[in-house]
Chain A
């Protein structure tokens, strides 16, 4: 590439670098601030002296978390949910994407299924009927209430289906002539070939389950069975109690809440995502572009 070395272009290059670094810093600022709050003393935090460096460094909030059984119980429920829900999501996604990726000549009912599936993605009965179905099935307060209603992530099914469609026909035909059954073709050819896509979808599914707080709020009444995000939601923002508070009371409320401890809890809650993210994110670009633009 030909690049001019004039002063103007160098200056603009420098300016662009500066802007990018500034934007990147802004993306990280809230996280860095939260980390610093979590390792500073409560008095320094309440005095508003903590920005991007720790003030009166102490790790007592992390020590407190270690002994917090409620926190760890919620953490474990979230882990259970991710493992159970993630496995169900992935199995169902693969099992649905494969038949749907067949052409109509191979699978006559394909389009009928497709219409039903897309319709469920676009139209919903609303939250009240949804809640009533789950409660009538007796799932309230059980881990299954967090796992089963979202068992089929329709968007992911379509994503994977599109990827399956892009796999060269010759691969499959060779296996077909050798007498391989559809299940065998799926297991021996399609799944191994789609690992990057599957990694992307797995990341989506794990993050989705880990971050969901809302079903925990409405489907779980027993506070010993709530997942971690719901626990954090109740902890830091007890909004229902704030219904009738005035501005002054709200300020007071913010002051007495234990910011240091809550920051530490929030950061611990992010650890699993931060551990998984680097391993799966390199497939991300491929996977997202696939879902967004199909030619």
Chain B
């Protein structure tokens, strides 16, 4: 008798149905909210993914993807035979790794230095100024840097003043890579500092006080409290940067390079751009691009796995 009552309890049944109806309505709303964005992603991100079949074709634009002949892996074997391709791969790796390493060290050092400053106004002014370059485009910076590093530019005038030789920074294969690495670090270090400064504020001030009681100098405190306190963040950002090993920075290279430094400065992205959109070797460019995408994808997945395992990091 009691069981019967609960199952046919009309009030409860109505409430349950209302709740279910409400839930379906809410879920429909969510689908509708996602619709416009998903349509855009579908058109501009997912449809182009199918275009990678061009990498396995001898693609002719007039015939389209469905009319072009299949080429198997010939685009890839051609890539491995081409001496340029090897050079470009090396360039990309060297430049990207250089940027990652310097781009990791400089913000750490800068955050440590800034942490020693007690004057709040001074500290925030410096911060605001140093992350300004992050907001400037590589077109603007490219023009400025070309001016400063040109043969008769400011840097060379200074070198001459010191009694040194003038250097063609932007046309020298010895200097181009270091120039890319240093200027990129210069642009981004202020911005990178933000995360480390946030990590520093999380360190318990009591640690410093007790260390000072024990007679530890500022330097000793930095070494034994601040640096270990930053360590998890350093590990995290270091791990995540693994995914960028093939991203040497298209915008920067594109705005600073010229044919004289292709040998050391040409990276995968700039090469794909020139092959694909200037020389119209669609299939070949797509093959190289695909290779980069796949390797990058694997690296990113690995780095996120490592980050979530060792630093407890999850993006969603």
Contact = CB atoms under 8 A, between A and B. Distances in A.
A151 B40 contact: yes
A294 B313 contact: yes
Contacts of B212: 1-4
B152 A292 contact: no
Given A27-B132, A124-B48, A128-B286, A285 B194 contact: yes
A174 interface: no
Q: How large is the interface on A (under 10, 10 to 19, 20 to 34, 35 or more residues)?
A: 35 or more
Residues of B contacting A: mostly: helix
A108 B34 CA distance: 13
B146 A31 contact: no
Nearest to A287: B194
Contact of A131 (B251, B277, B290, B312): B277
Interface residues of B, number: 107
A138 interface: no
Given A92-B37, A250-B171, A151 B44 contact: yes
Contacts of A51: 154
Nearest to B211: A2
Interface stretch (B84-92, B93-101, B137-145): B137-145
B181 interface: no
A207 B137 CA distance: 9
B309 interface: no
Shortest Cβ-Cβ A-B pairs, 4 listed = A129-B51, A126-B289, A211-B137, A125-B48
Interface of B: 23, 25-27, 29-31, 33-34, 36-38, 40-41, 43-52, 54, 61, 110, 113-114, 116-117, 126, 128-133, 135-148, 150-154, 157, 168, 171, 186, 190-191, 194-195, 197-199, 205, 208-209, 212-213, 217-219, 233, 236-237, 250-251, 254-255, 257-260, 272-273, 276-278, 282, 285-286, 289-290, 293, 296-297, 300-301, 312-316
Interface of A: 1-4, 8-9, 12-13, 16-17, 19-20, 23-24, 26-28, 30-31, 33-34, 37, 48, 51, 92, 95-96, 98-100, 102, 106-110, 113-114, 116-118, 120, 122-134, 137, 148-152, 154, 157-158, 161-162, 181-183, 207, 210-214, 218, 229, 232-233, 236-237, 239-240, 242-245, 247, 250-251, 254, 259, 262-263, 266, 269-270, 273, 277, 281, 284-285, 288-289, 292-295
